[in-house]
Amino acid sequence: MRRARKAVLRLTVLLAAVVLASCSGITPYRSDLAKNLRIEPKTSSGSLFQTLNAGVNVYEVDAKCQLVYLGTVKLKDSALDVGLAANRQIYLEFYFIKSAVLYSSSSSVDYGLLLRPRPAHEYTAEVSYANDLYKVQLWEKARSSAPKRLLERRSLQTCVPS
Partner 1 sequence: MNVRPLLPALSVFALLSACAYPKTIGEYRQMHQDHPDFPGAKRESFQIAQPLNQVAQHVKKKASECLNASFRFTERTNTSISSGITRYQPFANISAERAEIYVTQSGLTPSGKERGLIYYIFLLDLTPISKAKTKAELYYSWGEPSPRTAKAVRAWATGQDVGCPNLAAE
Interacting residues toward partner 1 by CB under 8 A: 96, 98, 105, 107-109, 111, 128-129, 132-136, 153, 155
Report in angstroms how near the CB of residue 92 gets to partner 1 at its nearest: 15
Contact 90, 122 (CB under 8 A): no
Q: Which CB sits closer to partner 1, 70 or 138?
A: 138
Q: Which segments of the chain are extended strands (E)?
A: 37-43, 50-61, 67-75, 80-82, 90-100, 106-115, 121-130, 133-142, 149-150
Q: Which CB sits closer to partner 1, 17 or 49?
A: 49
Which residues are paired to 115 by β-bridges? 90
Q: Which CB sits closer to partner 1, 70 or 98?
A: 98
User: For residue 102, is it left (φ>0), alpha (ψ between -120 and 50) or beta?
Assistant: alpha
Report in angstroms how near the CB of residue 4 gets to partner 1 at its nearest: 44
Cα distances from 86 to residues 41, 51, 121, in angstroms, run 23, 35, 9
Q: Which CB sits closer to partner 1, 70 or 114?
A: 114
Report in angstroms how near the CB of residue 55 gets to partner 1 at its nearest: 15
Report in angstroms how near the CB of residue 116 gets to partner 1 at its nearest: 20
